[in-house]
Each structure stands twice: as structure tokens, then as C-alpha cells.
Structure 1
Amino acid sequence: MENFLQDKDLWIVGSVCLVASILWRRFWNLFTYKRKRDSSPESASIDIQFREKDGSDKSKVYQKGSKTQKKKKPLDASDLFQAGFEEVQNQQNNQLSQSTAAHLDLIEEEQEVDKYREGKDGKQQAAVEEEAKEQEIVSELFQIKEEDKKEEENRLKKEEALWLSEVNQLAALNSSDRTDGSITVTPESCEENLEIIFSTKRHVTDETLPDELKKSRVEEDKELKEEEVAGLEAAEVGPERTEEKRKNAEPVIDEYVIDSSPPPPAPFEHRLVTTKTHQITSYYTINKEEVLGGGRFGMVHKCVEKSSGLVLAAKIIKARSQKEKEVVKCEIEVMNQLNHDNLIQLYAAFESRHEIILVMEYVDGGELFDRIIDENYKLTELDTVLFIRQISEGLQYMHKMYILHLDLKPENILCVSRQTNKVKIIDFGLARRYKPREKLRVNFGTPEFLAPEVINYEFVSFPTDMWSLGVITYMLLSGLSPFLGEDDNETLNNILACQWSFEEAEFVDISEEAKDFISRLLVKSKSWRMSASQSLKHPWLSDRALHYHLRHKKNKCHSSHAPPSEG
């Protein structure tokens, strides 16, 4: 028994020594491994690979087959002893690994808490910075406001000083019997000072004012009262009677407002017309005996719509070939785009085998050309102003719609009636749509009214119509054609040379404004001509004082007969 106890003690002592040696060995291996890992760059790079994107460590996972496994042998007594110690060692290792894992979890939690605190601190810092910026902006605004306030106060002080100096000067001049000779105003506070500056009348006590200033103040008060009474009367009576009273009280003797109202519109709404193949006689009665006009295109007759009794004009155009019909359809397309009181309106269109008939608005005042050549008609300069203004308004609308007339002449301008000076532009057979990117050239028109760029076969545009307007103005004022020669060749050469003048006797009594108007249109270079909008703003067409002068002039353009009454 004693031997057994001795053997047991020896066994315990031996096992303790063995365990101590094993632990020392493991500790030494761990120590050497840590030193190698810290000193080796490769281990550092490997360690980096096992870190997550957020900076936390991952558990190291090694590839399979990285270490070879040895075959197991049958255990003997020493091996059993070794196995017992290995179980103890494994239990200790498990406890150590569990404590290590718990420790790592605590470290990760602390790191997450630190990150959260850092993010929170960053947001708080950004909020603090934004608040500091806002405070800086507010302080700058207050500073600017204070500076503006100081400037305003300085300005008010200067105005007050100037006013006081003026009052002192007036008092010194007008009150020689007074000893002080000056007036001082001492407002009790800054608020009173501001009230003095911003009031419509200066607030000065009657005791300090001189007599003349008192009188002027009484007169001002009286005038203000009269104005207030007049305003109340105007409000009670109404704007119309007030205007009449103003006109009766203060008659305008140096201005005249011309009748710039548009001519009466067509008796039907604007419509988009397409050609019909039906017989026109089924819908309209055409009076071929009554001819309203004619030209190279055909004839215009008076017609009546059977269903409504509406009086219209039928323009019969000879069109045998398909090309000729396309030209007429181009005129229809242009008229579909034009809706203006100074432009004739299209009502319907009919197509047959050899002709196309356009049914249009009817006016019975005759051509403007008839008034130019009629010696029994008194055409004054003011009448010409009315005509040219309406033509300019029609051209302004056409050019806004990007359409060129290209055949503007007195024959293509109709008077609405023989009693008024209202006109409408007609005949859009040569009109073209202007496209800036597509340069347009034409080789047609009436020689007397052709612009230089048409004769030279150059690009045409809006100023081409304005040249024709200048020729029409010249003819209305003088009854003469500025470029007309013995034949067409001479006429075209005169246009290219831009040879014209105001030396004829017919221009002796014509105003300088009218001559300037023509001079700004009959310019060889199209880029220097007035546009339609600019012509309407020219003094000859817009100056009321000039119109008043023209209305009372006794001269006539080129005849000496009584004018018709204006409607």
C-alpha cells in the first residue's frame, strides 16, 4: 500500500512536470510565432487579406490540403499517458479559445461603438459648421443693412441741410426788416426729421416762415384741394365725360390723330381652302359681264353665293398644264396662311380641266392706281400717309408670317370703298414663302417696281417688298414713276443705277419727312432699307404734330380738286 502511494505521488509529480513542460513548450512556440509574424512583411500582407471592408477581422480559413496528415499507430502505455495529457491540453485550449473569442467579440463591439461615436461626432461637427456659416451670413446681412441705413441717414442729412440752406437764403432775401435773417428748424427727434424728409410738403411752422413762403403754401394747398375735387368729380362723372371736359378745357391745337383703324374685315371667318372638282355654277352665280379687274392671270368677275346671297369676287385663272395648276395652288396655300384686315381673304376654290377659279372677298373701291391717275381726285399728302401706313401694316404681318409678296404695285392695292381711304393688298400669285436657309431667287415682276436684287438675280428677302413700297410712295406723292424709261431696258438700267431725285416740281410742297421716308426705302443695298416695322415708326407715319401740319396745309399732291369726305 505504501508502495502504491509512493508510485501514485511519483505519477502525479511526473504528470505535473510533463504538463508544465508542454505548456512551456506551447508558450515558447506561440511567442516565437508572434515575433516572426510581426517581423515578416508577408504575414502582414496575409493578415490584411483577412480583413473585411469595414475594417473588422475575419476568421482565418486555410485551404484544404495545406498540411499532410500522418497515419495513426496503435497506442501503447506511454501513448495512453500522452493521450491523457493531450485531453487535458485540449480542454485548456478550448477554454482559452472561447475566452479569446469572447475577448475578440468585445473588441469588435468596442470598435463598432467607436465608429458610431465618430460618425455621430462628424455629423455634429458638420451641423456646427453649417450653423457657423449661417451665423456668418446673417452677420454679413446685418452689416450690409447697417451700412445701407447709415448711407440713407447721411443722404437724408444732406438733403435736410440743403433744404435748410435754401430756406435761409429765401428768408434772407425776402425779409430785410428782420434782424435774424435766418430760419432754423430743430426737430426734437430723429423720427421727426425723417417725417420732414419723406413728407410731400416740408413741415415748417407758420411762425418761422416768411410771408411769401406762407402765400406759396396757401396756393399749394388750394391747388391740391382743387385737384382732389376734380378727382372726385371725375370718379362720379366717369372717364368719358372727364375726357370730354379735358378736351373742352384744353383743346389740342398742334396735334392730329389720323384714322389708323383697320378696314372692315371680310364678311366671313378665315378658312383653310382646298380646291374642289365640282362645277362652280352649282354653288355660285358669276356675272361675267361685270369685270372687276384683269391681267396676265385672267379676269375677275363679281359673283353671288346661291345659298347665302353673299357677294364675292371670282378670279378665273387659265391653267391648262399641271405646272400652271401647281403655281395657282401655291397661291392658295399662301392665302390660307394670311389672316389680316389689310389682306384680301380667300373663300373657296374650284378646279376644272383648263382653269382654276378662286372665290374671294369682294371690295368695290377700285384700284389705288385709279386714284393716282384720276385728275378729278384730290390726293393730299395726308391721304398718302393713310395709304402707306395701311400697306406697311399689311407687309409687316406678311413678313412676320415669312411670306414675300414680290409683286407690290398700285394695281394690286384695292380701296375698300370710294368714300374712305381704307385699302387691302391683293394678288398673291407671285408670293413666296421665305426660308432663310434656302436662298430664294426670282425672275418675275413688273419692271417699274422691281428691286435691284431681282434684276441682278440675287437673293431676295423682306427688303425686296420695301423697295416696291418706296416706289409706290413716290408715285402717290408726285404722280410720277421714279425709274420709268422709254422701254423696259432703260427702266431696268435706271433701277440698277438707282437714279432718282426730288428735283421735279411736284415735290416742292412735299414735307421733308416724306422725302426722308422715300430715301430710306429706295436704297440699292437691301440691308440698309427700312423694314415694315421701322417704317411704321418713322415720323412721317407716326408724328401727330406733323399730321396736324399736313392737315392744315393747302397744297395737294398733284391735282387741285376737292377731296371726298372721309368715312
Structure 2
Amino acid sequence: MNLNQRRRSEIHLEEMLLLTAQNLPEVEVKDNYTILKELGNGSYGQVLLAMNQSQGNLMALKFMQKNITDLQVFLGEYCISLILAAHPCIIGTFGIAFQTDSHYVFAQELAVDNLFSLMKPQIGVPEMAVKRCAIQISSALEYMHLKGLVHRDIKPENILIFDRECRQVKLTDFGLTCPKGTSVESLSENLPYTAPEMCKLGASDRLIVQTSLDVWSFGVLLFCILTGYFPWNSAVPTDKNYSDYTKWHRSSRIFQLPMQWKVLTTEAVEMLRKMLVPEPTKRCTPNEVMNCLKTPWKSHLENKNQNTSRGKLDNSNYLGDRLDNKNIRRRAR
């Protein structure tokens, strides 16, 4: 995307934000929707399964608390979701946005669950399902990046599934999404998916957002769903697994990968190595996964060990103990 195209996209987004702000009605939920159950919750609010009483169709309503959510943040997530919804691998967003006394609300299509629900600790997700996810997430990210947008929150909870075999998955949750080139502060917490350039920010530091942030998170996500482990707890030098990885990345002839990587084939390791480059300018693009689809990603050794204990691996990165980010909701400041 050239500068003129990016500027046009930014102007379009600004116009949508202004128009939506001027036409955000106040709605009494109980008079228009039948709430059936809660689909998810976090510090931002709730996602509820609802039926539109006038049309009878089901949808997911995302409620964001006014007392902790700036109107511009809500409008940004809603309008970006609308802009991206045309892509088949990005969650559909309806033209329904309103406010109540206590919440801002918008509507999206329903999914079966999220990718996290399929992940088996210490095992991950079947290889064919991982490859289906990789193809679709890659396509969604490429589409976003061509529009000059960076997701900034790629993780299994933000990949919605529409079947248990991952024949259809969709990227969701654009609360941290911003245009490439935006200056952002550090996040409140560094997750295993957080790129090292974000992890090293001090409280008063800022980073210019690049698409390479998404490539890093995408690589960590693929590692997690392939193995059932985090590659590290945080991409900082004091994390032993990350430190061991960076040593290996610099000189694989001298240093060995941490044990968690041994279940991956040489081809899969090389693919992830191109995505998980500590230097952001040297990372590949999300479509690197398309070059590796015809080769196995899990080694035959991994298949033999699926029904046996894998306690020799570093359990500090065990998904079953630590991968519970459902209550973590970070907002761009």
C-alpha cells in the first residue's frame, strides 16, 4: 500500500468514526433483543448470545462498559471491524451499534467457539487443522496489512472457529488494531505472543507500530497450537527459553533449541525461524506459511509420544497451567 492509498484509508476510517458517533442511538436492550446466554467476558465487558426480536436472527452482542471504555476506542473497534468484515477469514460485523445507560454495544456473527477450545495441553491441535488455520489467518493478516492496519493481539482466543476441524476460522477482536505507523505505549502485560520490541519498552517509551508485530504473534500462535506449549513466557532476555532461542537463532551450529521444539520437523522449525526473528525488520510476511504446506510440521517422534508422558519438557511453559488470557483485555492508550 502506498502513502496515497494509506491516507485514503485513514480518511475513510475517520469519516466512519465521525458518522457513527453522530448516529449512535440509545437502545433499551430488553425491548429489542432476547439475551440467551453469555459467550465470553473480560475486563472490557461481555459478549452475549442474543436474538433480534424483530427479525428472529441470532447474533453476538459485544457490550463494552462506558466507565472504562472511551467512546473513540469503541468506535474505532466497531468501524475497523466493519471495514474488514468483507474478508471471508475475518469475523462478520453487522451494521448494528448502539449505547445503553452503561454500555456501548455492537453486533457480530456467531461462531462455534475459539481456537483455544481445541488446544490440548502438551499436544496441541492436529496438524491438518493447524495448517487450515495457518492458511486462513495468513490470508486475514495479509488483507489487514494491505489496508495499512496492524491487529496487535493475535492469540488463540481471537481466532473463532466454525467447525471442530478448522475448515472455517475467522480473525476477531480489533480492540488493539491501529494503522501502521501509529505510535503506541507499552502494554500492561507482556504475553508469550508479545514481540520483543514491545516487551522491552519502558513505561514512558513509545513504539512505531509495524506489521512485523503480527508476524511475531502469528509465529508464537502456530508454535502453541502445534505443540501444546508456549515457546517462552515472555520474549525478554531474563526468560531462559527465550534466551536459549535467541542464542540458537544467532548460531544454530553452536546452540541447541529448547526441548519443546524437538516435536517439530526441520521444515516447521525453519518456517517459524523466519517469523520469529528478534530483529523486526528481518521477519518474513504472514504468507510464509504458504511455502511450507506440503511438508510435515510435526515430527514422527511427536506422534509416538502423544499417548505417553512428556514430563521431561519444560513444564513452566505448559499451556494447561498458564494459557488463560480470557480475562486479560488491554486497550491502546
**Global fold match (TM > 0.5):** yes
* Within-5 A mapping of 1:28-427: 275-287=24-36, 290-320=37-67, 324-338=70-84, 339-347=86-94, 348-364=96-112, 366-373=113-120, 379-427=125-173
Q: How far does residue 425 in structure 1 lie from its aligned partner after superposition?
A: 1.1
Secondary structure of residue in 1 paired with 2:80: helix
Secondary structure of residue in 2 paired with 1:384: helix
Alignment check: 8 A CA contact 2:134 2:289 kept: no
Q: Distance in 1 between matches of 2:138 and 2:114?
A: 17
Q: Distance in 2 between matches of 1:409 and 1:514?
A: 19
Q: Distance in 2 between matches of 1:451 and 1:552?
A: 27
Q: Distance in 2 between matches of 1:504 and 1:497?
A: 9
Alignment of 1:525 onto 2:283: no
Q: Distance in 1 between matches of 2:138 and 2:269?
A: 17
Secondary structure of residue in 2 paired with 1:344: coil
Alignment check: 8 A CA contact 1:381 1:510 kept: no
Match of 2:184 in 1: 441
Match of 2:197 in 1: 453
Letter in 1 for 2:81: M
Q: Distance in 2 between matches of 1:418 and 1:292?
A: 17
- CA distance 1:551–1:433, shift in 2 (3 Å): closer
Letter in 2 for 1:516: E
Deviations 1:469-523 (A, max 9, x none): 11111111211111216xxxx8684399654367455543422111011101111
Match of 1:494 in 2: 239
- CA distance 1:513–1:551, shift in 2 (3 Å): closer
Alignment check: 8 A CA contact 1:381 1:557 kept: no
Match of 1:57 in 2: none
Q: Distance in 1 between matches of 2:263 and 2:89?
A: 30
Letter in 2 for 1:408: I
Deviations 1:337-362 (A, max 9, x none): 11211111221111123211121110
- CA distance 1:478–1:331, shift in 2 (3 Å): same
Q: Distance in 2 between matches of 1:299 and 1:480?
A: 28
- CA distance 1:395–1:493, shift in 2 (3 Å): farther
Q: Distance in 2 between matches of 1:324 and 1:440?
A: 18
Query: Alignment length, in residue pairs?
Result: 271
Alignment check: 8 A CA contact 1:506 1:557 kept: no
Match of 2:270 in 1: 516
Alignment check: 8 A CA contact 1:317 1:356 kept: yes
Alignment check: 8 A CA contact 2:47 2:63 kept: yes
Letter in 2 for 1:452: P
Amino-acid identity (%)? 24
Match of 1:465 in 2: 214
Alignment check: 8 A CA contact 2:198 2:207 kept: yes
- CA distance 1:363–1:471, shift in 2 (3 Å): same
TM-score when normalising by structure 1? 0.43
Alignment check: 8 A CA contact 1:286 1:303 kept: yes
Match of 1:480 in 2: 229
Q: Which structure would you say has the larger Rg?
A: 1
Which blocks of at least 5 consecutive residues in structure 2 are unaligned?
A: 1-18, 249-255, 309-333
Q: Distance in 2 between matches of 1:352 and 1:370?
A: 31
Alignment check: 8 A CA contact 1:313 1:362 kept: yes
Q: How far does residue 308 in structure 1 lie from its aligned partner after superposition?
A: 2.0
The structure, 1 or 2, with the larger RCO (C-alpha pairs under 8 Å, 6+ apart) is 2
Q: Distance in 1 between matches of 2:194 and 2:70?
A: 23
Q: How far does residue 281 in structure 1 lie from its aligned partner after superposition?
A: 2.7
Q: How far does residue 378 in structure 1 lie from its aligned partner after superposition?
A: 7.2
Alignment check: 8 A CA contact 2:125 2:228 kept: no
Q: Distance in 2 between matches of 1:391 and 1:342?
A: 7
Q: Distance in 2 between matches of 1:504 and 1:496?
A: 6
CA RMSD of the aligned region, Å? 3.1
Question: Which structure features the higher share of strand residues?
Answer: 2
TM-score when normalising by structure 2? 0.71
Letter in 1 for 2:185: V
Alignment check: 8 A CA contact 2:129 2:166 kept: no
Match of 1:243 in 2: none
Question: Which structure features the higher share of helix residues?
Answer: 1
Letter in 2 for 1:532: P
Letter in 1 for 2:184: R
Secondary structure of residue in 2 paired with 1:466: helix
Q: How far does residue 411 in structure 1 lie from its aligned partner after superposition?
A: 1.2
Alignment check: 8 A CA contact 2:231 2:242 kept: no
Alignment check: 8 A CA contact 2:119 2:225 kept: yes
Q: How far does residue 420 in structure 1 lie from its aligned partner after superposition?
A: 4.0
Which blocks of at least 5 consecutive residues in structure 1 are unaligned?
A: 1-271, 562-567
Alignment check: 8 A CA contact 1:498 1:523 kept: no
Letter in 2 for 1:468: S
Q: Distance in 1 between matches of 2:262 and 2:185?
A: 37
Q: Distance in 2 between matches of 1:359 and 1:459?
A: 31
Q: Distance in 2 between matches of 1:528 and 1:373?
A: 32
